[in-house]
Amino acid sequence: MFGMLKPVLKNGFGKPATRLYPFVIREAFDNARGKLEIDIDKCIFCGMCQRKCPSTCLTVEKATCKWELDPYNCIICGVCVDACPTKCLSLNKVHRVPVYVKENQINIGKPPVKKTAAKEKA
Amino acid sequence: MLHNQTNETKETQITIDKLVAETQKLADNGYRFIIMDVFESGENFELIYEYGKDYDVTTLRFTVAKGTEIPSISPIFFNALLIENENQDLYGLKYKGLVVDFGGRLYMAVDEVEAPPQSMAGINVSLVKKWNKKADTAKKEG
Amino acid sequence: MGDRRTVIPFGPQHPVLPEPIQLKLVLEDEIVVEALPQIGYIHRGLERLVKVRDFNQMVFVAERICGICSFQHAMTYCLGIERLMNIEVPERADYLRVIWSELHRVHSHLLWLGLFADGFGFESMFMETWKIREAVVDMLEATAGSRVIISTCQVGGVRRDISPEFLQQILKLADDTERKIKAIENSVMNDYTVKKRTVDIGIVSKEQAWKLGAAGPTLRGSGVKWDARMIGYAGYKYLNFEPVVETAGDCYARTKVRFREIFVALDLLRQAIAKIPSGEINVKVKGNPEGEVLVQVEQPRGEVTYTFKANGTKNLEKMHVRTPTFANIPAFLTMLPGCELADVPILALTIDPCISCTER
């Protein structure tokens, strides 16, 4: 009968086991997967990320140099990060915040410079 | 069928009228019923029943034309009734002799679906892909 | 006077049920005479997605069939496709899969223990076990990236590595968890009230459990020594352990099986971390799968069976999943007649229901 007495006293008179969120926020772990980010200057608009994505949340248009993400459909699995040939995608460790209106994230970049043209210049 | 197990596996091709007799023989030998599969090819359904004892697995396979009534093994193995009722819902198969018959309403509510969802009947895969693309563009615009 | 029978609907919304299932109970004065189940509240049709997602992307669908045993679903899927394509997974990936599986087993059994205690009113035990579970889930986030659905298994191996510092932290976590669980063992297993609510309730005999196709602790609590990990998939072929068996067949025996399995899982973690070799964590996958295969893997609730059929294209032709709760429901339906109305929540929780697995 007295088996639970020790935990009960510890919980009653010790400090609480929960944090006072949102006043106290725990720092994210280093390996945590929060949201997807892109360095748009390095992107060559090959469309590899769109083909590999399991939840079809990415749209890449080569003609207008537009990279579009639906962040509320994204399952933050990281397959696009592994598949990107120029390594311009990365996962931030802080999770995205809740919002009132869902909007897509659109990044516009510049057209990729062809390698032969760059060699001629150099 | 290949198995991810290191022990013996055995496969037997039978006909539909031998199903209940073979199942009774396996039940008397101490086997239990594991899983049942339905593969669709053209106008036929291929049915595969798997039974297990210790770590070995035995398979019975047979083919039926669409629309035939299949004898149920739920009087021998009570746990087959859930899978057989599910196949009535998802593929439109018909069983006779079920211990508890939900009549095609195990998963689907009344007045909900008209065509068997998992059957290939009426499903055009390229059309499904076109619908997915249309749904994505509609989501982006609206 | 005629029959004094009433029909009471249990569910789909009920405080003890984690997921919706409906039972129509026919009662005569407080004793249950018949029960008819009705499922289908959470049917998502996930198996149909094989037609539009290719076999590499289906891992992410397979792991979302259940939230608690999600890594074992992904692992079963990968084992099946690897068997079809004759891929040999590197040894380090086998050990990493064992480590993540056993962490999932510990967190699932602690979750179940809390829900079970809450089912008969023991709320303090619910809070204590979920507090212990929080440290395990934090370790999953620190090593794999998220708390619940960890997305680390892929066809050909695993996607992330665990560094040696984290392996040492997992060892420390195993010792801490064992110490904390031993401290509450008396209040769970030797308490007078718990015994009064669980001993001799819902007895399933050994022959019945085998013939009805029960799985997991429902089968091992009735005396049948059958554990799918003895088949020797992934890293289990390098480790030694014995399946946990009890003979009484009632709710108390099943609780004891799950309780002892937590200690076995922590021991497997220590063995795996001591023996893990260095090396690659995945191999490249070329080509498409072809053929048929059946795979069985031990989840916390029992053994799950996946069957695949592939025809050489990048979309599988068919994937069929039979989860352990699907196999335990007939055993549950035979336990119900003869029990009292107040025991129905205990019986519903003793098979560890995961209804979202059942109707994927």
Q: What is the CATH number of domain A34-121?
A: 3.30.70.3270
Mean of pLDDT over chain A? 83
Distance (Å, whole) CA C310 – CA C320: 12
pLDDT at C232: 83
CA distances from C306 to A16, B4, B26, B68, C330 (A): 44, 10, 22, 27, 20
Share of chain B above pLDDT 90, in %: 0
Helix (H) or strand (E) holding C303: strand C302-311
Contacts of B132 in chain A (CB under 8 A): 56
Average pLDDT on B4-29 reads 79
pLDDT at C171: 93
B48, B79, B123 ranked by CB distance to C213: nearest: B79
In which domain, by residue range, is C79 found?
45-358
Q: Hey, which chains touch A, using 3+ CB pairs under 8 Å? A: B, C
Is the pLDDT at B117 greater than 70? The verdict is no
Domain count for chain B: 1
In which domain, by residue range, is B27 found?
9-141
In a domain, B123, yes or no: yes
Picking from A50, A51, A56, A61 by the largest number of B CB atoms within 10 A of its own CB, the best residue to mutate is A56
C60, C131, C192 ranked by CB distance to A75: nearest: C60
Report the residue count for chain A: 122
pLDDT at C1: 42
Q: Any idea where the domains of chain A sit in the sequence?
A: 34-121
B35 touches chain C (CB under 8 A): yes
Which letter, b or e, does each residue of B11-26 get, where b requires 16 or more Cβ atoms within 10 Å of its Cβ? eeeeeeeebeebbeeb
Contact C320 B37 (CB under 8 A): yes
Residue of A nearest to B137 (CA): A59
Q: Can you give the pLDDT of all 360 residues of chain C as single tens digits?
A: 456 788 989 878 888 888 888 888 998 888 888 888 888 888 888 888 888 888 899 999 999 998 888 999 999 999 999 988 888 999 999 999 999 999 999 999 999 999 999 988 888 889 889 999 999 999 999 999 888 898 899 999 999 899 999 999 999 999 999 999 998 888 888 888 888 888 988 888 998 889 888 889 999 999 989 888 888 888 888 898 899 999 988 999 999 999 999 999 999 999 999 999 989 888 999 888 888 888 899 999 999 999 998 888 888 888 999 999 988 988 888 888 888 888 898 898 998 888 888 887
Contact A59 B140 (CB under 8 A): yes
Contact A104 B140 (CB under 8 A): yes
Contacts of C53 in chain A (CB under 8 A): 54
pLDDT at B75: 86
Distance (Å, whole) CA C212 – CA C332: 10
Residue of B nearest to C78 (CA): B4
Long-range contacts of C46-51 (CB under 8 A, 24+ apart): C46/C360, C47/B118, C47/C318, C47/C319, C47/C320, C47/C321, C47/C360, C48/B117, C48/B118, C50/C315, C50/C316, C50/C317, C50/C318, C50/C319, C51/B123, C51/B125, C51/B128, C51/C315
Contact B136 A104 (CB under 8 A): no
In a domain, C314, yes or no: yes
Contact B2 C320 (CB under 8 A): no
How close does chain A come to B140, measured CA to CA in Å?
8
A55 touches chain B (CB under 8 A): no
pLDDT tens digits, residue range C134-152? 999 999 999 998 888 988 9
Pair C111, C105: CB distance under 8 Å: no
How close does chain B come to A113, measured CA to CA in Å?
29
pLDDT at B6: 52
Which letter, b or e, does each residue of C253-278 get, where b requires 16 or more Cβ atoms within 10 Å of its Cβ? bbbbbbbbbbbbbbbbbbbbbeebee
B79, B106, B118 ranked by CB distance to C40: nearest: B106
CA distances from B105 to B89, B98, C327 (A): 7, 14, 20
Give the CATH number of the domain where residue C149 resides: 1.10.645.10
Angle separating helix axes C251-275 and C91-119, nearest 10 degrees: 150
pLDDT confidence tier of residue A115, bands split at 50, 70 and 90: low
Residue of A nearest to B129 (CA): A56
In a domain, C10, yes or no: no
How close does chain B come to C260, measured CA to CA in Å?
23
Residue the block writes with tokens 């001799």: C200
Domain count for chain C: 1
Contacts of B136 in chain A (CB under 8 A): 56, 59
Is the pLDDT at B52 greater than 70? The verdict is yes
Pair C77, C306: CB distance under 8 Å: yes
- ipTM for the predicted complex comes to 0.84
B77 touches chain C (CB under 8 A): yes
Is the pLDDT at B115 greater than 90? The verdict is no
Is the pLDDT at B126 greater than 70? The verdict is no
pLDDT at C256: 92
Is the pLDDT at A108 greater than 70? The verdict is yes
Mean of pLDDT over chain C? 89
C127-156 residues touching B, CB cutoff 8 A: none
pLDDT at A118: 45
Average pLDDT on B95-112 reads 73
pLDDT at A9: 84
Give the CATH number of the domain where residue B67 resides: 3.30.460.80
pLDDT tens digits, residue range A36-77? 888 888 888 888 888 889 888 888 888 888 888 888 888 888
Number of B to C CB contacts under 8 A, please give it.
94
Contacts of A77 in chain C (CB under 8 A): 60, 151
pLDDT tens digits, residue range C172-208? 999 999 999 998 888 888 888 888 888 988 888 998 8
What is the 8-class DSSP label of residue A113? P
Average pLDDT on B58-67 reads 85
